[in-house]
Amino acid sequence: MGATHYTRTAVALHWLIAGLIIAALFMGWTMTGMAISPQRLKAYNYHKWVGVTVLLLAILRVAWRLKQPAPPLLPMPVLQRFAAHAGHLLLYLLMLVMPVTGWVYSNAAGYPVVYLGRFPLPNLVGRDHALALQWVRVHHVLAFVFAAVIIGHILAALYHHLVMRDGTLRRMLTWRRPDAAVAAGEN
């Protein structure tokens, strides 16, 4: 099919999810140190809403990617190719797993997740203090893993752009209808 660009849907989802993940990480970082207050409660709720939104968008994005495969990587050494695929796979996994670990932790701590304060999500586990302590640990550790992988992703993109001077970063910044999609009759 010879697609060389990402679809606009893929580009939009990439940047939307990127912004939300960074917001969630930042909120997670600050809210845990807050004193008990309505502000803290709100911060936790908003953090959960952002997390659930990331989960929903990530599911959408994976589904879209299966329907509209990403363009192949630009020419690069085998090791870099492997690192790129591994890194992307890790990012997708974390996008899906990270919100669920928070959801489990919240339920175990006795708090159902009510998306946007209106849509109650099912409880994945019952209230269990010991379980909550385990899952909050998992959630915290994964947050650092996630942050590290994102930093790696950004550095790799900059390396492609500034050192290799190829089109890797540019094609995720290009907002245009890809040729392949046009050929396939997408509108």
Decide: is 187 part of the binding site for other proteins (CB under 8 A). no
Would you count residue 110 as binding other proteins (CB under 8 A)?
Answer: yes
- CB burial class (10 A; 0-12, 13-18, 19+) of residue 116? exposed
If binding is defined by CB under 8 A, does position 129 make contact with other proteins? yes
| CB of residue 50 to other proteins, shortest distance in Å | 15
* Residue 36 within binding range of other proteins, rule CB under 8 A: yes
Which x/- pattern over 49-88 shows residues binding other proteins (rule: CB under 8 A)? ----------------------------------------
Q: Which of 1, 42, 170, 186 contacts other proteins by CB under 8 A?
A: 42
Q: Is 170 in the site for other proteins (CB under 8 A)?
A: no
Among 36-44, 71-79, 166-174, 178-186, the segment contacting other proteins (CB under 8 A): 36-44
For position 118 contacting other proteins by CB under 8 A, the verdict is: yes
Which region among 10-18, 69-77, 89-97, 103-111 touches other proteins (by CB under 8 A)?
103-111
Taking alpha carbons only, the member of 113, 111, 115 closest to residue 132 is 111
Widest pairwise Cα distance in the chain: 57
Give residues in contact with other proteins (CB under 8 A).
36-38, 41-42, 45, 109-114, 117-118, 120, 127, 129, 132
